[in-house]
Chains A and B, each alone.
Chain A
Amino acid sequence: MSKLTSFDKPPKSRAGAAAPHQYRILGRRVLITDELGRWALLTRPEYDRFLAGLKPSDPLWPLLQSRGFLAGAFDFDAAARRQFERSLLSWKGPASHVILVERMDLATARRTVEFIFRCPGPQLTLELVFQDAASVWPVLWFIVQYARRKGEWSRRPVFLIARGKMMSPDQADFLRSHGVTRSVILELDGKPDMKTAPDFRAQRARARLKPGAAEPRAWARWFEKWGLESVRLLPSSLDEKGTAAFLAFYGGFLDSLIEDGERTNVRDEWAVGLLGGRLWNLPGMDVLEQLAYGADGRVFSSETAATGTAALALGTVGELRYQDIARLPSTSAVIAAASPDNQPLCSQCVYRAYCAVPPALNHKIQGHVWGQTPSSDACTLQMGILDRIFGRLDDEKMLLLLGKWCVDLT
């Protein structure tokens, strides 16, 4: 069976019955979605009835009509508004800016912050990445102070995240008092030690699974116990084996969060990012969601590009103007490659409204921004994550958890 899934016995369709939609077989059910992010989980007989043409007396009719799946009773105004809100027509600019602070000098740091505040958009997130806070502390301190002031002067909410190891209590206090969220990179191996306190205090984590990582439910409780509020699990490697191990772990992790929904404060960043339903919500999406800045002031389409290929360097702070980014060939290439409409598999995928592989990641793992989706492990990984999420959407606990994370799937 291909990645899109196929029926052993294809259903019969009647022209003019079903509105635009894609389908996917999830176990015994058929998930249908439209490109505007509306969805329904049906049984196979229900899907057959839907495709053949529902009568208004059918019990399914009200549900599918309200969600815009019936061609004969389609709400064009609602669909157009939704299309406007979710397409690039509503894009305001990249909200996430990753600054690679290591070895950055003060003048470059200043120009970088000034460039970031040239970007339009209702809010900005600056993620400061470093190895050792002690060695970059003055520049880190300056960026925090300067970004805070720029935020106040431009009257825009600014979120600051510090991602790196080794901070003295004074430095940690400074960051906390300036509203900087602390993010750590963890490696999960085996099962967690629930009794020993970790040697960090942070609110966010990127947790890479090592091949021996086990007991995802225990790890979910470990994150909760030590105060981590937002976790993004990462595979040990982006290949068939690493992806399969990741998805098995992720399924258990998500199950645990769903079961502990009322008690846990841990948020799964994958679910929040993907279910946002907009290309510019997808974590690390080149140019649309993210820009990254190297120590030498070079601007990259994303952090993945900054740490991978110079081909996606867009220019240098101080020389590059924000409004010129849209006219660069690299920008056109990544935006065209990111759009699901332009990818043959994505255009027919049931998760089209929620998912896209960042082009810089395609470049990293497959050597080209377009990638080749059928054989892409990044595609398999994201599709697997969404399978696990959508497979639980008929569970009220899951919907409550998503509500708690401010994810609106109505």
Chain B
Amino acid sequence: MKSTKNISKQRPQAAVPKKVAVVSPQLSSSDAAFSLDVKTYGLESVLGAAYLMMDKAYVSLSGDRAKSVVVTLRAKDPAAIKPKALAEEFLLDLASQKIRWAVAKNNLPIREFVAEQAVLIANGRVAPSSAAAAPPEPPAEQLTDDQRAEIEKLISEVEAEIKTMNDKKVVPDPKNIKASWEEKQEQENKA
């Protein structure tokens, strides 16, 4: 039976991102630097946006992670992208990160509850075991005497085949008689 719940009444609401003033970067000929207030932007959003820049920029972070973080971007290929363009892209990503983290934080209780239920389902089907204990070894196949004999027969056949192959290796083949069907096709196509 489905349990549809109005969870907005059950859990505390995370803060909705408020409209924040656009921060201006400090631009030099090679770098773009931002001083970002951690309370306003959120540390996760700042780190997330910085991480996403790593394909095109070297990113350095400094400051106090509880108060204010300075993000400095330097293009990996300065000819391809200017500091101003890097700064604009970082700001767009920073705004998107705020949305993504807001959705993630608002839904943390849902995700935790679902994960917990999934583990309970798993434990209901499989006998619980301590995390440290290794899972039991799959049971060895109990082969019958006939099956064992069949394996031995297979192996002796292959050994005989290998011996024949080794013996044949020294036989010359001037007319290419031993060539496979595909080898012949390949040669004909080339011709």
Contact with B along A53-76 (1 / 0, CB 8 A): 000000000000000000111111
Q: Tell yes or no: B81 within 8 A of A by CB.
A: no
B161: chain A residues at CB < 8 Å are 137-138, 141
In the docked arrangement, what's the CA distance between A119 and B96, Å? 44
In the docked arrangement, what's the CA distance between A35 and B110, Å? 12
Q: Tally chain B residues at the interface, Cβ within 8 Å.
A: 67
Contact B134 A154 (CB under 8 A): no
For chain B, residues 140 to 161, give those with C-beta under 8 angstroms from any C-beta of chain A.
141, 143, 147, 150-151, 154-155, 158-159, 161
In the docked arrangement, what's the CA distance between A7 and B100, Å? 12
Contact A4 B54 (CB under 8 A): no
Contact B99 A327 (CB under 8 A): no
In the docked arrangement, what's the CA distance between A169 and B181, Å? 6
Main secondary structure on chain B at its contact with chain A? helix
Question: Looking at chain A, what size class is its interface with the partner chain?
Answer: 35 or more
Q: Which of A6, A20, A145 meets B103, CB within 8 Å?
A: A20
Contact B155 A106 (CB under 8 A): yes
Q: Tell yes or no: B167 within 8 A of A by CB.
A: no
Q: Tell yes or no: B29 within 8 A of A by CB.
A: no
Q: Tell yes or no: A407 within 8 A of B by CB.
A: no
Contact A344 B138 (CB under 8 A): no
In the docked arrangement, what's the CA distance between A171 and B155, Å? 18
B136: chain A residues at CB < 8 Å are 323
In the docked arrangement, what's the CA distance between A359 and B135, Å? 24
Q: Tell yes or no: A329 within 8 A of B by CB.
A: no
In the docked arrangement, what's the CA distance between A71 and B182, Å? 61
Contact A72 B6 (CB under 8 A): yes
Q: Tell yes or no: A87 within 8 A of B by CB.
A: yes
Contact with B along A362-376 (1 / 0, CB 8 A): 000000000010110
A21: chain B residues at CB < 8 Å are 103
Contact A15 B92 (CB under 8 A): no
A72-B7, A74-B7, A75-B4 given as contacts; is B182 within 8 A of A165 (CB)?
yes
B21: chain A residues at CB < 8 Å are none
Contact B182 A166 (CB under 8 A): yes
Contact A89 B118 (CB under 8 A): yes
Contact with A along B1-22 (1 / 0, CB 8 A): 1111111100001111100000
Contact with B along A316-352 (1 / 0, CB 8 A): 0000011110110000000000000000110010000
Contact B8 A83 (CB under 8 A): no
In the docked arrangement, what's the CA distance between A134 and B178, Å? 10
In the docked arrangement, what's the CA distance between A118 and B135, Å? 13
A133: chain B residues at CB < 8 Å are 180
A20-B103, A76-B5 given as contacts; is B51 within 8 A of A10 (CB)?
no
Contact B141 A153 (CB under 8 A): yes
Q: Tell yes or no: A406 within 8 A of B by CB.
A: no
Contact A199 B48 (CB under 8 A): no
Contact A16 B135 (CB under 8 A): no
Q: Tell yes or no: A226 within 8 A of B by CB.
A: no
Q: Tell yes or no: A174 within 8 A of B by CB.
A: no
Q: Tell yes or no: B61 within 8 A of A by CB.
A: no
Q: Tell yes or no: A256 within 8 A of B by CB.
A: no
B54: chain A residues at CB < 8 Å are 372, 374-375
In the complex, what residue of chain B is closest to A90 when comparing beta carbons? B122
Q: Which of B48, B141, B185 meets A348, CB within 8 Å?
A: B48
Closest 5 CB pairs of A and B: A80-B117, A16-B8, A6-B96, A83-B118, A2-B52
Listed by A's residue number, 15 A-B pairs whose Cβ atoms lie within 8 Å are A4-B100, A8-B92, A11-B99, A18-B107, A19-B110, A20-B111, A72-B8, A75-B4, A77-B1, A77-B3, A83-B114, A141-B161, A149-B147, A153-B141, A199-B182
Q: Which residues of A contact B (CB under 8 A)?
A: 1-8, 10-11, 13-16, 18-22, 35, 51, 71-81, 83-84, 87, 89-90, 106, 110, 117-120, 133-134, 137-139, 141-142, 145-146, 149-150, 153-154, 165-169, 171-172, 196, 199-200, 321-324, 326-327, 344-345, 348, 372, 374-375
